[in-house]
Amino acid sequence: MRRNCTLFLFFVLAFVTASITSCKKFEGDQTVPSYIRIDTIGLTCDYYTYGANTHRFVDAWVYVDDDVRGCFELPATIPILKQGPHKVSVYAGIAVNGIKDARSGYPFTAPAIFSNVNLVPDSIVTLVPMVTYWPNGENLHVRWMEDFDTGTVTMETTSQSDVPYIRTSGPLAWHDPEGVHSTYSAKFVLPSDTMQFCFVTSEEFTDLPTKGSPCMLEMDYKCSDTCTVGIFYRENYSVIQEALVRLKPTGALGEEPVEWNKIYINLGPYFVDYEDADYFKVYLSSWFNRNDGEQYFYFDNLKIIYNDR
């Protein structure tokens, strides 16, 4: 219950009044709205600082002249009872832990700002927002990244694993759409007579924020069976394993999955609950107990990112 209550506390900074304000009736003399159309929100970033610009922004948090208009699921056509030139700010929104009903503003990117949008009643203006990460001066930290593109991989299989991971660059690996970076992915194949893999970070994280600051694990994945994301932590001389999120299959059982998905996992509440832990590790695992042939799991672009303000 505590985690459910604290899940979004650190996201409320700029967004807390959005849903309330968006429910208000239009004010003023204008009766015919102008419209803003937003289909997608893109991300641009420096690869060597933030990794690949992979993202899954599902909502637009829209402000007009710094007044919140609301949160809108993409693609969206947004009515605005204003006309003439106005400032429009668009923040990116995500589904936390992959839950459609757990929507939040993404806390690590600055808004896309359009300083002079000409609104015309009964007309649509299409915006194409591109967001960027807040500058380093905003206390933003990428604590860990793994894209499997270097010879040194910062994850390892545990003694619980029945199969090793494969570092693959084949056509089913994740590839940078711009063709510049990321040609390798981690792959697991579980034969029908195999039970489990467990893939864990080799580093023990001892410096992650434990005071409720925004902190997320992000990654791209695709799989033909369910998969678990969790943490190991050591407390009172005991190492404890705790599952956080179960990833749903992105493809059919027993077939090589094609469709990649992106997930944002909120780690902040767990670090608050276990603030006395000596260290944390992130793991990925699957417990296979069906006779549906081989199952396939791919992972790429993992990172832990947080803001310590």
* Residue 10: predicted pLDDT: 39
DSSP 170-183: STTS---TTSSS--
CA distance 167 to 157: 12
CA distance 261 to 219: 8
**pLDDT tens, position by position, for the chain (309 residues)?**
344 334 444 344 444 444 434 444 445 677 899 999 999 999 999 999 999 999 999 999 999 999 999 999 999 999 999 999 999 999 999 999 999 999 999 999 999 999 999 999 999 999 999 999 998 667 899 999 999 998 899 999 999 899 999 999 988 999 877 766 768 999 999 988 888 999 999 999 999 987 888 999 999 999 999 999 999 999 999 999 999 999 999 999 889 999 999 999 999 988 888 889 999 999 999 976 666 788 999 999 999 999 876
Closest by CA to 200, choosing from 287, 144, 283, is 283
Is 141-307 in CATH node 3.40.50.620? no
Is 2-138 in CATH node 2.60.40? yes
C-alpha dihedral sign at 96, 217, 174, 190? negative
Question: What are residue 11's phi and psi, to 5 degrees?
Answer: -90, -5
* Residue 20: predicted pLDDT: 39
* Residue 24: predicted pLDDT: 43
Q: Name 222's Cβ contacts closer than 8 Å, sequence gap at least 6.
A: 250, 251, 257, 258, 259, 260, 261, 297, 298
CA distance 25 to 18: 14
| DSSP state letter for 250 | S
The per-type count for the chain, helices as H runs and strands as E runs, is 5, 22
- pTM, 2 dp: 0.88
The domain spans of the chain are 2-138, 141-307
Q: Is 293 helix (H, G, I), strand (E, B) or coil?
A: coil
